[in-house]
Amino acid sequence: MNTDGSKAPGKVARQVARQGLLLLSGMLVLVIGATGVAEAGPDKITSATLVPIRTPAEPIPAEALLDIAIPPMNDGLDLTDEDDTVFPEVRIAETIYFSNQLA
């Protein structure tokens, strides 16, 4: 038993270790917050500025337009495994649909 009123050496060591751990935890939180890792969510749009669409004063003649063809996109079926839940018919239909949307 301590008669001089001081704390036991084991208690002091545990208290110092606990304070060191708290200090280290606080520093880690500050570093993570400062680097932006904590804010990994999507950006939010806080304002919008309307930009007027520039349209020609007269229609563009047909001979000035580009005639392009967009082939069907790759359906990606060769990248799937047997355990993937993929419906080939839907993938093929999507490639045709999206190609038509771009054309």
30 domain-assigned: yes
Task: Identify the three-state secondary structure at position 35.
Answer: helix
The residue among 100 and 3 whose pLDDT is bigger is 100
97 lies in which domain range?
Answer: 66-102
The band of 41, judged by pLDDT with boundaries at 50, 70 and 90, is: low
Q: What is the number of domains present in the chain?
A: 2
pLDDT tens-digit series, residues 66-97: 888 888 788 888 888 888 888 889 988 998 88
Asked if 71 and 103 count as a contact pair (C-beta separation under 8 A), the reply is: no
Q: What is the CA 96 to chain-centroid distance, rounded? A: 28
In a domain, 51, yes or no: no
